[in-house]
Chains A and B, each alone.
Chain A
Amino acid sequence: MKEALSRCAPPFGREEGANVALAFAGSDELAAQIRQGASIDVYASANTQLPRALHSEGRLSRSVAFATNELVIATRRPSSIHSLTDLTKKGVRLVLGSPSVPHGAYARTLLARLPAATRRAVFANVRSNEPDVKSTVGKLLTGAADAGFVYASDVRAAHGKLAALRLPPRLRPRVVYAAGIAWRSRAPRLARAFLRDLRFGRCQRALRQAGFGPPPNRNKQ
């Protein structure tokens, strides 16, 4: 997300004659900042629940889906982990996102679909609940952890240092990114233009290049 938006936002700003300031953090962290009154124009989240919650609190417009992603098991190359069941082996060091951050919640959704014994064995290997996806990837890149649940786009952003193990489709959670405009935005016209760009324009292309999937449908969530 960071790489894609950092690439497409400046040209968008130049075209619109505006300066686009980007702030990246765990989606839940950003939502908490908005609840504390952070002045923003557009909020983009790695799930649809947080924008929906902010909408119902009267802080955000109705959100629209702008991308999809795939939760994968990321391992370092080379690795002895080749499947979901390998995560149950004793001594595997696994990192998850914390339950409040989307990639952590998605991983828990997936693990909840496993048989109880398998699930317990996997949870027994969890060494850390990281506050955002970057620090989860960092634990893998530094060799501190053997495997972690992150997004396919994160593995791609690691430039070949990580391998992605795809999960069985029936277990895979639906990862949908949604964005909305802050009710208190001081530049609502620009915010709408950016949202449009996120769904159909330069930013959408940058997202696809970064390994994100297209939005599930082009209608409102």
Chain B
Amino acid sequence: MHNGTGAGGRALRLIEPLTRPGSLRSRRSRVRQVSRAAIAHAAVVTAAAVCCAALAVFLLLPLVALLSTAPPHAVIAALRDGETLTALGLSLRASALALTLTIVIGTPAAYFIATRRFPGRRAVLTAVELPIVLPPAVAGLALLSAFGPEGLAGGALSAVGIRLPFTFGAVVVASMFVASPLYIRNAIASFEQVDRRLIDAARNLGASELRAFLRVAAPIAMPGLTASAAIATARALGEFGATLMFAGSLRGSTQTAAIAIYERFASDTTAAFALSIALLALAAGLLAAAKLHSASAGLASISRR
């Protein structure tokens, strides 16, 4: 029931004044002394500024609008609510566990991938990044078809008495599946930036591979590692689709903050907005931490030279 041509006509009218050659030519004749290059430059700068402003409005307006939906005291009241706290606590616990596992398993793997050249390395790098670009619903179905009761590994898991769906473990697995690639990808990049000669020097001075990693590579890459850990945590905290499909939603055992927001949206909109603001603040904090660390990473690499 929507009239498509009307919108198209509007869009055309918007573009017209910028591209009509007549107006440009008449302006040129009026200001002869200004060179063509200067006009072209001004046009490019103006266009770029307009683009930046439009982008800023588009990206920031929803976030500012979100902040305006609930006054601070409502946010605090919502956070005092037992059920909201339970969901937030569950998200934090699941993310912390997912992050710990990711760091313990992912850091050595990232170091290995970053420092070795082996056949199929590019394929491995691509595979690591795949879950990042996967739609959450696809990730959820993928997890079910792998670790669900009838999944590829489901039989093996149930043989050892593990049944993942509807458990806290499933929340951790879903968070880790979507968030760990962010950490690992950036960890590989951080280790790749470590000057190979420093590691070689340590090895020549008699340090073992492990010692070279712990005393040379890891400290140099540390700012990058911390930043990527912060980003991965933020992603894990926000996980929604895959968790809902794989772990379901039960208060206190699988209902994360993101799922609680979705559920409240229909029943208690104020609480949903308040919890959203809390998650926004948390994500902003993690992002700021990541940025501070990458800034110090930049300083470290400059001071090395």
The chain A residues found within 8 Å of chain B, CB to CB, are 18-21, 26, 28-29, 31-32, 35-36, 41, 93, 95, 98-101, 126-131, 135, 138-139, 142-145, 186-187, 190
Contacts and interface: CB of A to CB of B under 8 A. Distances in A.
Given A21-B2, A98-B263, A186-B1, A129 B249 contact: yes
Nearest to A185: B1
Contacts of A190: 1
Interface string B223-252: 000000000000000000000110111110
Given A32-B265, A100-B266, A21 B1 contact: yes
B157 to A, nearest CB: 13
23 contacts: A20-B1, A21-B2, A28-B267, A98-B249, A98-B263, A100-B267, A101-B266, A127-B166, A127-B250, A128-B166, A128-B247, A128-B249, A128-B254, A129-B251, A129-B255, A130-B249, A131-B262, A131-B266, A142-B149, A143-B148, A143-B150, A144-B144, A187-B1
Nearest to A146: B149
A142 B150 contact: yes
B273 to A, nearest CB: 10
B248 A130 contact: yes
B106 interface: no
B107 interface: no
Contact of B266 (A19, A28, A135, A144): A28
Interface in B45-78: none
A35 B245 CA distance: 27
Contacts of B166: 93, 127-128, 144-145
Given A29-B266, A32-B265, A139 B150 contact: no
Contacts of A93: 166
B158 to A, nearest CB: 11
A41 B1 CA distance: 10
A32 to B, nearest CB: 5
B165 interface: yes
Nearest to A20: B1
A131 B266 CA distance: 9
Interface string B264-295: 01110100000000000000000000000000
Main secondary structure of the interface of B (DSSP, over half): loop
Interface string B137-148: 000000010001
Given A127-B165, A144-B165, A145-B166, 16 more contacts: A19-B2, A20-B1, A21-B2, A29-B266, A41-B1, A129-B248, A129-B250, A130-B249, A131-B244, A131-B259, A131-B263, A131-B266, A135-B245, A144-B148, A144-B149, A144-B248
A197 B1 CA distance: 17
A127 B144 CA distance: 16
Nearest to A39: B2
Contact of A32 (B1, B247, B269): B269
A18 B2 CA distance: 9
Interface string B114-155: 000000000000000000000000000000100011100000
B244 A135 contact: yes
Given A41-B1, A144-B166, A127 B266 contact: no
Contacts of A144: 144, 148-149, 165-166, 248
A162 to B, nearest CB: 15
Contacts of B259: 131
B268 to A, nearest CB: 9
B266 A31 contact: yes
B304 to A, nearest CB: 51
A28 B265 CA distance: 9
Determine which residue in B165, B248, B259, B267 has the highest number of CB atoms from chain A within 10 A of its CB, and name it.
B248
A135 B140 CA distance: 12
A20 B259 CA distance: 31
A142 B2 CA distance: 38
A138 B108 CA distance: 37
B266 A26 contact: yes
